[in-house]
Structures are given as C-alpha cells and as structure tokens.
Amino acid sequence: MPTYANTKPKLRPDEEAEANHRTSVRAKVVHEAIRRDGEEELHRSMAALAWSALAAGLAMGLSLLAEGVLHSHLPETPWRPLVSKIGYSLGFIIVIVGKQQLFTENTLTPIIPVMHNRDASTLWKLAKLWIAVFIANMIGTHLIAWLFSNTPVLSREIQHALLETAQASTAVDPWTAFIRGIPAGWLIALIVWLRAATDSGELAIIVLLTYTIAISGFTHIIAGSVDYLYLVMAGHANWFSFLGEYMLPVLLGNILGGVAIVAALNHAQVVSDEPKPDSQ
C-alpha cells in the first residue's frame, strides 16, 4: 500500500513562486523592514520631524472631537461608550496613514537601529528625535485643546460633550495612569509590527487596536493629553495636576509598554533565531 508521509507535491515554477508569496512573513523580515524605517527616521532633519509632529498633535484632537460628537448624539445608556469610543480611532488613522510623527508610534521604529548598532551616535540621534517629536506633539495638543475650548468653533452642546468625554477618560490617579499606559504603549507599538507584516488591512489594524485602547480605559500620552488639556483650558483642571499626575506617569507607561515589551522582545526573538557561528 503506498505511503504519502514524505511525499512533496511537485509544483510548476509559477506555483512555487505563488507558494513562496503566500508563506507567512518571517519575524526577521518584519524586523528588518522596521529597522530600515527607523534608520530613515533617525536621519530626517529636526525641522521636518517637528513640523510633522506638530501636525500629529493637532490631528489627535480629532479623536476627542469625534468621540465627543458621537457621545452627544447617543442616548444615555450603558452601551453608549461602546459606540462613542469608535471616534477615538480617528486621530490615529489620520496620523498613522498620513505618515505623521506620533511619539508612541513612529518613534518606536528607531529603537531597532539603536539595539542593532549599540553605539552612542545612534542613541544620541534617538534622543534628539524623541525630544523633537514629543515637544512638537505637545504643542499641537495645547493648540487644539485651546481651539476647542476657548473659541466658538464648536457649539456649546459639543463643548459640553467634549468636557464629559475628557473627564471620563482622565479620571485616574497617577499610579493607575502609569499602569494603564503600559498596555496602551504595547498596542500602539503592535500597530507598527502588524503593518510591517502585512500588505493589506492597515485601516482595520489601526481601528481595532486603538478602539481596544479606548474601551479598555488605557492611557495614551498624546490622545490623553488632548483630553486633559481640554479640561485645563476650560478651567476644570490645572497645569500641575496635568504634568505630575497624568503626563509623566502616562509617558513612562507608554515607553515601557512600547519599547521594552514589543521592541525588545521582538528584537530578542530575531536575534535568538539567528544561526550561531561554529565554534573554532
């Protein structure tokens, strides 16, 4: 009786090429794609990074706006947040698809070159990039929060809805803000890896992961800063509570989640998979 245990089907050259194309992307291929993107980011001028990051900070205000508008048009029911939180994804879609500089997304990629090169020059470039992007992001969040809260660009009804939305999303103590920042940083960083691993479905990846952040109550440094600064600009919070009780804890949590958990572990996976040289 014939056995098929070790039988390999014979494929034509075109079928072999298709099979290779359909094979799942290996981790080291994803790693290399992100490393090259990171190298490119590290060599961009500070002016280009800053302008792009400023645009990203402004665009993230649209997450608060979209969520607040949905909130204002929905009845006060237990399921209202499940629908209104869909708006949270809007700012991320604009920023990520538009290739703008967001501290927790585009600044993750340069971590790979740092781990790869392990030299002071690359580390210094990373530090400059992080500082430029973070400061410009924060300037953008300040501007959009002021625009929404202190000008007639929005109706009183929408402003009140944004106030309720911002209060609900920032009602955390510093320790909770830090802890909830870790999974937020992890999920945003995963967007980088998943987008590099697939040729399609980018929009679905962004929406699903950012929506998960929103409905889970996780804290994101840029999106959350828009919310908190809206409260500051509207007179319902102060600068010191924003800086000490929210911004710093969330920033540290996002960095820990994005860099240490995703970049480090995925980098370690690829390095461990590399063949070791034969001992002499």
The pLDDT of residue 43 is: 84
pLDDT tens per residue, the chain (280 residues)?
A: 555 445 556 667 765 665 555 555 566 777 677 778 888 888 888 899 999 999 999 999 999 999 999 999 999 999 999 999 999 999 999 999 998 999 987 667 787 788 778 888 888 988 899 999 999 999 999 999 999 999 999 999 999 999 999 999 999 999 999 999 999 999 998 888 888 777 778 999 999 999 999 999 999 999 999 999 999 999 999 999 999 999 999 999 999 988 776 666 666 666 666 655 554 4
Distance of CA 193 to the CA centre of its chain: 11
Task: Return d(Cα 260, Cα 138) in angstroms, integer.
Answer: 23
Q: What is the Cβ-side half-sphere exposure of residue 235, based on CA atoms within 13 angstroms?
A: 3
Task: Return d(Cα 15, Cα 119) in angstroms, integer.
Answer: 45
Domains of the chain by range and CATH?
25-273 (1.20.1080.10)
The pLDDT of residue 23 is: 57
Task: Return d(Cα 73, Cα 235) in angstroms, integer.
Answer: 25
Q: Is the dihedral of CA 8, 12, 17, 19 positive or negative?
A: negative
pTM for this predicted structure: 0.84
Kindly give, in sequence order, each residue whose CB lies less than 8 Å from that of residue 111, ignoring residues fewer than 6 positions away: 38, 126, 259, 263
User: What residue type is assigned to position 140 of the chain?
Assistant: G
Identify which of 175, 207, 189 has the alpha carbon closest to the alpha carbon of residue 108.
189
Kindly give, in sequence order, each residue whose CB lies less than 8 Å from that of residue 114, ignoring residues fewer than 6 positions away: 122, 123, 126
